A and B are shown apart, each in its own frame.
Chain A
Amino acid sequence: MSDRAGIIIVGAGECGARAALTLREKGYEEPITLIGEEFQLPYERPPLSKQALLADSVPQPRAVLSEAAMEERAIRHIAGTTASAIDKTMKHVLLADARRLPYDKLLLTTGAVPRRLPNAPAGPRVRYLRTINDALALRPWIATGMHVAVLGGGFIGLEVAASARSRGAEVTVIESQERVLQRGVPDAVAEVINSLHRRNGVSVRCGVTVSAINIDDQSVSIDFQDGERLEADVLVVGIGAQPRTELAELADIAIDNGIAVNEYLETSVKDIYAAGDCCSFPHSLYDGRRLRLEAWRNAQDQGIVAALNMLGSACSYDCVPYFWSDQFDHTLQIAGLVGEGRMTVRRDIGDDAFILFHLDDEQRLVAASGIGPGNKIAKDMRLSEMLIAKRIAPPIEALATGGNLKSLLPRAG
């Protein structure tokens, strides 16, 4: 190890940890410092709305990087503190505890935070879900005898609803749009999710306007514009997330729906990169349109690409957007951007699973969305992702009839 400043990664989630791992895997020998505001080791977040809530015993977060793995790789983990400023001239990061750390290159993986409910009092009966501590604090509320109101019919809200119902709680999902999963999920898939929740005893109320939320030490009540009132024990708020850009803003780094990076994940400031939920990037599959993705796979892949580029590669980030969600016994998966499609072809996989293939005007596959129990659709979804990445225009018949999607892929050699 030299006495060079090395690489600092601000944000010790999936993305930051994956970047640190990749740097060492690729032979980087200078110091690596991972700064995280939580005290835990870097851990995986997808289980927080599922296994962490469903488990009978208090769950341990699943580490991305164990203490031993960090020690073995000489990754310095500064936990329980935040970076408060960047000195671009001196190439230093200033920590909230007044420490000043030099860097050669800096990676911002600051993630996102749940969007807060305006004008709602904070307190134990209002819950958000982003961290393991959030999940632990939510667990006592999702039990038999409790009534859980979930504000927001997006992925987090529905996953929490499914977990809470599975734990025996009475659950009401409140969604202002006409259906759940309004953003990025086609009607047919959302309808299956909707039915699944209703079948399992979740009350799903769509197209309703909340006029007031009243929370005190004893209860939660939600007033709707039509005069109805819903009483609950706890309110879980899942109304989206906001990228954490404060540090970048302070350093005058360009912001555009997140920290703006180019296709190599470089920010507007030399030697500073950003990756994961906190950044927006131009995507070559979508004519360079700027996207910001809040998905585990994106966080993982961008962490890897940022690491490679900090080591001198010029890898453009062009992975197909990919998202999955588990609710009850079903898995929903989306590859690509559904909104890019102009026509849809349906493939049924058994009785209760299907995939919708979304094609553009030139009949190229631009997205696929599917749902089914267990991992029934996984193989075809993964192949769809590969077809989307290669801009393949598959024969419609082959998509619809259930032929092997692998045969549509061009093979090397």
Chain B
Amino acid sequence: MTTWIEACGADDIDQEDVVRFDHEGRTFAIYRSPDDQYFATDGLCSHERIHLADGLVMDDIIECPKHNGRFSYKTGEARGAPVCINLKTYPIKVDGDRIMIGLGS
């Protein structure tokens, strides 16, 4: 069952940017694409557990701030050295001006 948790406000994330959301000891990264869609992935890089919210979003790619490993934030797919393990992604829904992340129970 999916539980919807409020992650942030829609305007808390700039276009083509990312913010961090922590919940019950876990860290997530919430993204807003250039065309105003929202996405969510695990918040830590699968290479060295660096916060992806400090990284750079370009188009549909999040780049880790430390070693520049790349992922598609839409699919979680690892797209560039040194990362090779995909990120888990999470469903997002927009409820008014709030962004909700769907977490499994």
- Which residues of A line the B interface, CB within 8 A? 18, 21, 44, 62, 64, 69, 296-297, 300, 304, 324, 374-376, 378-379, 382-383, 406
Can you sample 10 A-B contacts with CB below 8 Å?
A: A62-B48, A64-B82, A297-B67, A297-B68, A376-B54, A378-B55, A382-B56, A382-B65, A382-B68, A406-B16
**Which residues of the other chain, A, contact B82 by a CB distance below 8 angstroms?**
44, 64, 300
By secondary structure, the A interface counts as helix
A375 touches B81 (CB 8 A): no
A378 touches B66 (CB 8 A): yes
Complex-state Cα separation, A379 to B55, whole angstroms: 6
Total CB contacts across the A-B interface at under 8 A: 38
**Which residues of the other chain, A, contact B54 by a CB distance below 8 angstroms?**
374-376, 378-379
**Which residues of the other chain, B, contact A18 by a CB distance below 8 angstroms?**
81
- Which residues of B line the A interface, CB within 8 A? 16, 48, 50-51, 54-56, 58, 63, 65-68, 81-82, 84
B56 touches A383 (CB 8 A): yes
**Which residues of the other chain, A, contact B58 by a CB distance below 8 angstroms?**
406
A375 touches B16 (CB 8 A): no
A375 touches B50 (CB 8 A): yes
Complex-state Cα separation, A376 to B84, whole angstroms: 25
The minimal Cβ–Cβ distance linking A411 to chain B, given in whole angstroms, is 9
**Which residues of the other chain, A, contact B48 by a CB distance below 8 angstroms?**
62
A375 touches B51 (CB 8 A): yes
Q: A64-B82, A379-B55, A383-B56 are in contact. List 10 more A-B contacts (CB 8 A).
A: A18-B81, A21-B81, A297-B67, A300-B81, A304-B81, A324-B66, A375-B51, A379-B54, A382-B56, A406-B58
**Which residues of the other chain, B, contact A379 by a CB distance below 8 angstroms?**
54-56, 65
**Which residues of the other chain, A, contact B55 by a CB distance below 8 angstroms?**
375, 378-379
**Which residues of the other chain, B, contact A44 by a CB distance below 8 angstroms?**
82
User: Which of B16, B51, B65, B66: most chain A Cβ within 10 A?
Assistant: B65
User: Which of B50, B51, B68: most chain A Cβ within 10 A?
Assistant: B68
Complex-state Cα separation, A18 to B54, whole angstroms: 25
Complex-state Cα separation, A406 to B56, whole angstroms: 10
**Which residues of the other chain, B, contact A300 by a CB distance below 8 angstroms?**
81-82
Complex-state Cα separation, A379 to B56, whole angstroms: 6
- B65 CB contact (under 8 Å) in A21, A64, A378: A378
**Which residues of the other chain, A, contact B56 by a CB distance below 8 angstroms?**
378-379, 382-383, 406
Complex-state Cα separation, A44 to B16, whole angstroms: 31
**Which residues of the other chain, B, contact A382 by a CB distance below 8 angstroms?**
56, 63, 65, 68
B65 touches A375 (CB 8 A): yes
The minimal Cβ–Cβ distance linking B44 to chain A, given in whole angstroms, is 12
